Amino acid sequence: MHIPDGYLGPSTFIAFWIIMIPIWLYAGKKMGTLGSKRAPLLALASAFAFVIMMFNLPVPGGSSGHAVGGAIIAVVIGPWAAVIAISIALALQALLFGDGGVTAYAANCFSMAVIMPFIGYYTYKFISGNTDIKSSRRVIAIAIGAWLSLTVAATFIGFILGLQPILYRGANGLPLYMPYPLSVTVPAMFLEHAFVFSILEALVSALIFVYIQRTDPSIFYAEKAAPQEVSKKKSTRDLAIGILLLIILTPLGLLAAGTAYGEWAPEELKARVGYMPPGLEKLSDLWHAPISDYGFSNLPPIMGYILAAAIGVILCVGILYFMGKKIAKD
């Protein structure tokens, strides 16, 4: 899901920047309706998106992938706030840890921070209808919304990657950036997400939904008028404890040794296709993340992974809590 630098040609990634800038501005404006008391939830949502993406799951064939949490975040804080929360998490992943490209950042945000929250949220709203907030139909609704949101977002990424050989070719006829065509990228991204990662996304989202449903449903964005402010502090504290546990468990994400589809390093891609696309080679060297691959050279991989998760979560919480307090209005 995290497109690295070099896989998209210039006109493609510039187009996504042009699309995303007004979306970010409008999403920031819409955050004013969130309410400053929900700023901790905004911060925790970004931290959750950051850390859940570190849990890589292996699939047959040597690839790997992860959940994103776009649907459940949108149901808790609203889809526009989710745009900001997930975009901040993706920015930190790209800049500090080299997970996703700097040039491809806007494209990654469009798929994971826009497509996922809005498809997940409105699918949930459509299926749940006017049912009681504690009904089982709502659990089914969030599960379907989460599954559909990740499946569509991943397929969209496959479509964008597969367009690159059509849009950019060198004088020798070979692709300059992503070399695999639509007939390969779209089925690859759709199948592994629809039958593996999106199911994980649905399960994780449903579990979190059920927990909130049973403890304090006033947390949900659509239920913000519910007068349960006293218990909200306890619920926020419990969610923070949950994220702390996720940080401790992040080394489980190291069990997946394979690289996610479309996220190969230039040398790995060269070994797969037999040559190095020149445009990809040039752009892939554009940015060197200070904590590449969530690791520290002087720490064992497990300790480094936990430390990287803690740094990412602290930054997400700090940035979003500050933004929420400054922008959101009561």
3-state secondary structure of 89: helix
- Tens digit of pLDDT for each residue in 73-99? 999 999 999 999 999 999 999 999 999
Tokens of 222: 């659509």
Q: Are 213 and 17 in contact (CB under 8 A)?
A: no
Tokens of 270: 């060269």
Residue 125 clears pLDDT 90, i.e. is over it = yes
Question: What's the pLDDT at 328?
Answer: 65
Task: Quickly state the pLDDT bin for 325 (edges 50, 70, 90).
Answer: confident
In percent, the amount of the chain with pLDDT more than 90 equals 76
Closest CA relative to residue 324, chosen from 27, 30, 42: 42
Question: What's the pLDDT at 330?
Answer: 56
pTM more than 0.85: yes
The distance of Cα 124 from the centroid of its chain, to the nearest Å, equals 18
Residue 230 clears pLDDT 50, i.e. is over it = no
Residue 227 clears pLDDT 50, i.e. is over it = no
Question: What's the pLDDT at 40?
Answer: 86
Tokens of 142: 């969030």
- Tens digit of pLDDT for each residue in 22-60? 999 999 988 877 777 778 889 999 999 999 999 988 776
**Residue whose structure tokens are 């469009």:** 110
Task: Quickly state the pLDDT bin for 329 (edges 50, 70, 90).
Answer: low
Side-chain half-sphere CA neighbours of 257 within 13 A: 3
Q: What angle do CA 213, 218, 220 make, to 5 degrees?
A: 70
Question: What's the pLDDT at 62?
Answer: 66
3-state secondary structure of 57: strand
- Give backbone dihedrals phi and psi of 264, rounded to 5 degrees, phi first: -70, 145
Calpha distance 252→246 (Å, rounded): 10
Calpha distance 41→233 (Å, rounded): 10
Return the beta strands (E) in the chain as ranges.
Answer: 57-59, 63-65
Tokens of 232: 């909200």
Task: Quickly state the pLDDT bin for 321 (edges 50, 70, 90).
Answer: confident
Kindly report the average pLDDT of the chain as a whole number.
91
What sign results for the dihedral spanned by CA atoms 204, 209, 210, 214? Answer: positive
> How many CB atoms lie under 10 A from the CB of residue 286?
11
Name which CATH class applies to 10-328: mainly alpha
